[in-house]
């Protein structure tokens, strides 16, 4: 099953949990807000992505 990582940049306020928990999937911009490094996830990345989704206080990260 193929999963795609989606980031709502309007909701992101820059807590940094996603890039702290999954640095292979996320990074931060100059303002400290999240940016995606990967959109189409490999099987190995599913667990990291789910962890980031579960820990985002703004619910700005989803999987589709």
Report residue 35 as tokens: 């940016």
**Angstrom distance (rounded) from CA 43 to CA 31:** 31
Q: What is the pLDDT of residues 1-37, one digit of tens each?
A: 689 999 999 999 999 999 999 999 999 999 999 999 9
* Confidence at residue 1, expressed as pLDDT on a 0 to 100 scale: 65
Q: What is the pLDDT of residues 39-48, one digit of tens each?
A: 999 999 999 9
Strand partners, 41: 3
The residue extents of the domains of the chain are 3-63
Q: What is the pTM of this model?
A: 0.91
Nearest to 41 by CA among 28, 51, 33: 51
* 39 close to 4: Cβ distance less than 8 angstroms: yes
CATH class of 3-63: alpha beta
CA dist list (Å): 47 to 21, 32, 51: 11, 24, 6
């Amino acid at each position: 099953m193929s999963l795609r990582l989606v980031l709502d940049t309007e909701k992101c306020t820059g807590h940094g949990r996603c890039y702290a928990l999954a640095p292979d999937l996320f990074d931060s911009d100059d303002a400290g807000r999240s940016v995606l490094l990967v959109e189409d996830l490999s099987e190995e990345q599913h667990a990291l992505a789910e962890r980031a989704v579960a820990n985002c206080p703004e619910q700005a990260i989803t999987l589709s």
